[in-house]
Amino acid sequence: MTPDRLFETGITDEEFDSLADKYIMIPPDTSGENKEGDTVVETVELGIADWKKQGVSLAVPVNVVSEGVNQGKTDYWYAGVNSADAMGVTKRALKVFGIVDKVIVKKDGKAYINPAGFAGARARARWQRSKTNQGNLIAKLDSQ
């Protein structure tokens, strides 16, 4: 039996069946409440990098490959490249992934980025629940 009052969504039933939440889900703690500081750790695989802002930072796709509610979801790691400090942080992450030699190409006395060098690298990544400026709780990829 169909209810008397229905609100149209603009989405077909086939579209609805294929929908997936694109955001990383962090399960609540043992109290059952979502709290700032809650974390989830997933196995991830990097994709090919592209510029977020040319000459300043890269956007590197971080794809969740571990089984569970987050499998198949993609977040982004924004890697700074425009200063020695920013590259120091990026270099540390490249070491964790074991891809320094695949990503950094030294040529003519300069260090260059090979965007394809990120692809396929796997590691464990952590998302932490934090508050936005509006006070909403979000899952944020932990860069440390």
Average pLDDT over residues 95-102: 94
CA nearest neighbour of 70 among 126, 119, 30, 32? 126
Average pLDDT over residues 66-88: 93
Query: Does pLDDT of 141 surpass 90?
Result: no
Extents of the domains making up the chain = 30-141
Q: What pLDDT sits at residue 115?
A: 97
Q: Are 127 and 24 in contact (CB under 8 A)?
A: yes
Average pLDDT over residues 109-114: 95
Distance CA 123, CA 105 (A): 22
Judge residue 140's burial from the number of C-beta atoms within 10 Å of its C-beta, 0-12 exposed, 13-18 middle, 19 or more buried. Answer: middle
CA nearest neighbour of 46 among 57, 62, 65? 62
Q: Are 106 and 52 in contact (CB under 8 A)?
A: no
Task: Tell me the pTM.
Answer: 0.81
Q: What pLDDT sits at residue 139?
A: 87
What pLDDT, in 10s, does the model give residues 4-59? Answer: 898 889 999 999 888 877 889 888 777 788 888 889 999 999 999 999 999 999 99
- Residue 44 phi, psi dihedral angles, 5° rounding: -130, 160
